[in-house]
Structure 1
């Protein structure tokens, strides 16, 4: 019984010693909004990634299926049939 109580007391103390994983860099899509309507290219995608601080770039054609998981460090650039950027968002 005594060992059980010690275990119950020790576990929260040990949990407090674990490190919290570092938060990934977050993306800010605001500065990239002026590129809406521009023709999308791989080079422009990389430029937008740097501009927004994103560590991941996802470029997709409008209407293509994408995962719905939220990734604060990911920039999503959506382009249409004409090749123009129609949406720039983070997550």
Structure 2
């Protein structure tokens, strides 16, 4: 076997190895993605933030305005309700 044929063989093997399929990223189960129960509050989106005063929420729920500073710690069991400059609720999620 010559050095040239050996080199061509190695290039072919390397090229085939590069074509190996990459496994898809792990998917978070729906239960984990909604550990805080945000799905039950999605109906608030689009409502004025004043409706929040009439409701009770789980302990630790955050009402976040457009200029509010919040901690960056991730807690999937914490409900977060975000409202915009218009005073309307824009997002309900767990983090």
Pick the TM interval, shorter chain: 0.5 to 0.7
Q: Within 5 A, what are the aligned runs for 1:1-91?
A: 26-41=35-50, 42-44=52-54, 46-47=55-56, 49=57, 54-91=58-95
Bigger CA radius of gyration: 2
Deviation at 1:29, TM superposition (A): 0.4
How many residues are treated as equivalent by the alignment? 60
TM-score, structure 1 normalization: 0.54
More strand by share: 1
State the superposition RMSD in angstroms.
Answer: 1.9
5+ residue gaps, structure 1, are 1-25
TM-score of the pair, normalised by structure 2: 0.52
- Structure 1 runs of 4+ with >6 Å offset: none
In structure 2, stretches of 5+ residues that fail to align are 1-34
After superposition, the C-alpha distances for 1:12-50 in whole angstroms (9 at most, x for unaligned) are xxxxxxxxxxxxxx4110111111010013424x43x2x
